[in-house]
Structure 1
Amino acid sequence: MTDDAITGLEGDLRTNGIDVESIDAGDPLDLTYTTSFPGERVEHGEIGRVCNTLIDRAEDGTWDPVRVEATVVRFAGDVQGTWHADAEWFEGLLSYRLSEEDFSERVLGTLTNTVDENSEESEGSA
């Protein structure tokens, strides 16, 4: 992917309400964005907007699906959570081998909220 495509992808994400902190459009695509919902858990609607932006770009031929690794921050240095989506999931959705519901379930199944990790750590250290 060229620098123009990175700028275009960042612009598309921002247009869809995603506050891009950093992006490396390699393989994997590494995305960090600041959430508009700085609670304890990552907001599923924002994940959907990221994925839909990538799906739209794949459909119009401006993005070739690769694994996406996303980090969601409340503000710089305060990670709210992480999630990822495999290239095969995008390809399956685009070729109608995977339903939108299955795609969403797979992505949400990778979601890790830092509050959950911190709870497990404090429980395990008691």
Structure 2
Amino acid sequence: MDFDADQLEGRLMSHGVYVTSLDADGERIVVEYESIAAGKADAVPNREVGRVINVVRDLTETPRGVRGSVTDLDGEPVGRWHAEAEWLRALEDGELSQVEFSQRVVETITES
């Protein structure tokens, strides 16, 4: 990994996101996490997805895809989402606005 997994987990924990599994390679980062907010809403919170992506972007040197699987605090599946590496590169290059990027990610959310 070209980033510190403990730092990633610590930063996400400060946002109420508790990493249960983390896997990374040169193409993507797959994070499974428990969410306080997801349990209250019974849905994948869009703002929280944004936080996860932003923390990953802050801690990694090169854009790569991010895939998230969300559970509530009881471990019950809530949903999944993803952000493609090409979207992240387009965002960094200014070819995609933050709003357009966010819309693409939100459209990938599937509820369990």
> Which TM-score applies when normalising by structure 1?
0.76
Corresponding residue SS for 1:22: strand
Report the Cα distance in structure 2 between the residues aligned to 1:111 and 1:34, rounded to whole angstroms.
Answer: 16
Give the ranges of 4+ consecutive aligned residues of structure 1 lying more than 3 Å apart after TM superposition: none
Report the Cα distance in structure 1 between the residues aligned to 2:67 and 2:44, rounded to whole angstroms.
Answer: 14
Report the Cα distance in structure 2 between the residues aligned to 1:17 and 1:75, rounded to whole angstroms.
Answer: 10
Match of 2:48 in 1: 46
Larger radius of gyration: 1
Seq. identity, %? 36
Superposed CA RMSD in Å reads 1.8
Aligned residue pairs total 109
Instruction: Could you tell me which runs of 5 or more consecutive residues in structure 2 were left unpaired when the two chains were aligned.
Output: none
Instruction: Could you tell me which runs of 5 or more consecutive residues in structure 1 were left unpaired when the two chains were aligned.
Output: 115-126
> Which TM-score applies when normalising by structure 2?
0.84
Higher RCO (C-alpha 8 Å, min separation 6): 2
Q: What is the CA-CA distance between 1:23 and the residue it aligns to? A: 0.8
More strand by share: 2
**Map 1:97-112 → 2, pairs under 5 A:** 97-112=95-110
